[in-house]
Amino acid sequence: MKSIFFMLFGALAGSFIALQNTLNSSLGKKTGYFGSVLLLTIISTITLIIIISISPKTATLKNAPGLSQWYLYLGGILGVLILAIPIFILPKIGVSATLSSMIFGQIILALILDHFGFMGNPTITIDLKKILGAFLLLISIFLINSK
């Protein structure tokens, strides 16, 4: 029961992504692709500062890794790309095609990362069932986006 709740919570977050990408793309039409990413990052930073000031135990920045673990900061660069790419492609292919292609990319890389236990996460081997699931997801993407 608990896992169903968390999966529904995840589905809610996924629905927010659809709305977020639509709003971000509309902003990008007015401010340019990277102009919108900059504005969104500033708004995100302000929001985080407010949240952390209300609940300071949610951020322990004194434990931030040093330069020897520079790769841990690549998420910031990926965050810019995750914001910018949908802003660019959504007006060209629509919300469902944008998000379904993003989800497919997420699933494929997630399967690979799980298989190798990347960054100390649990190792979950790719098996035929998972490959079939990814293939069925790909088929569903084509069906969802067919005209």
Residue whose pair of structure tokens reads 């985080």 in the numeric block? 48
Instruction: Let me know whether 10 and 35 are in one domain.
Output: yes
Contact yes or no for 89/28 (Cβ under 8 A): no
Are residues 21 and 82 part of one domain?
Answer: yes
49 and 100 part of one domain:
no
Interacting residues of 98 by C-beta distance below 8 A, sequence separation 6+:
21, 86, 89, 90
**Domain identity same for 25 and 83:** yes
pLDDT in tens, 77-128: 999 999 999 999 999 998 988 999 999 999 999 999 999 999 999 999 999 9
Query: How far is the C-alpha of 47 from the C-alpha of 123, rounded, in Å?
Result: 35
105 plus 135 within the same structural domain:
yes
Same domain, residue pair 102 and 45: no
Cβ 28 vs Cβ 35: under 8 Å: yes
52 and 2 together in one domain: yes
Is 91:84 a contact under the CB 8 Å cutoff? no
Taking all residues of the chain, what is their mean pLDDT, rounded to a whole number? 92
Contacts of 15 (CB under 8 A, 6+ apart): none
Quick one: 84 and 127 in the same domain?
no
pLDDT score of 147: 77
CB count in 10 Å sphere of residue 93: 13
pTM to 2 decimal places: 0.79
Looking at the 3D structure of the chain, how many domains does it have? Answer: 2
